[in-house]
Amino acid sequence: MDTLAGQVYGFAVTITAGLSLGLLFDLYRLWRRATRPQRMVTALSDILFWMIATPLTYVYLLMGNWGELRFYVFLGLLLGLFLYFMVFSVLVLNLLITVSYYVAAVVGGLIQGFWLLVTLPWEGAARWRSRRCWQPGRVRISKAARRGRSRPKWLGPKWQFLPKFAIFRK
């Protein structure tokens, strides 16, 4: 028979296991929301989730009470899950969504900046080659502008944060 301190420790570990399972499920739920996988991928990811959750629970049970299944183990797991979903789930979801938004914004900004560094010299060289855009007092109308577009589609969107020097104007 375990001592009371051993049972309390085991109960605390099973509550922690429930909290961990709730966090793992929230991460899985966010991944599903972000990717919207098809039916087959969903089935495979469900199996993968349980292949991760089962050994995780087993490790917690080994740490807490040497893998013995007693009533307080199930009660601790359910209490940990209930506590996580009632208190921490909203906070964790909002935090993860906010962090992922800012990480995506920073990575997107870096990619756009790199693309600007790559394409800007090429666009500037193309403008130097066409003499008509550098002749003062003459307005150059490109073929794309005559077709109703201000710039060709393959050049991408016009960068709004560029300085207003003559080299960057159309």
pLDDT, tens digit only, all 170 positions of the chain? 578 888 888 889 999 999 999 999 999 998 888 888 899 999 999 999 999 999 999 998 888 888 788 888 899 999 999 999 999 999 998 898 888 888 888 888 888 888 888 877 777 666 655 555 555 555 555 555 556 555 555 555 554 444 444 444 44
**What's 158's DSSP letter?**
P
Residue where the block lists tokens 């709004």: 160
Q: How many domains does the chain have?
A: 1
- What domain range includes position 4? 1-170
Please tell me the number of Cα atoms within 13 Å of 158 on its side-chain side. 10
pTM of this structure? 0.62
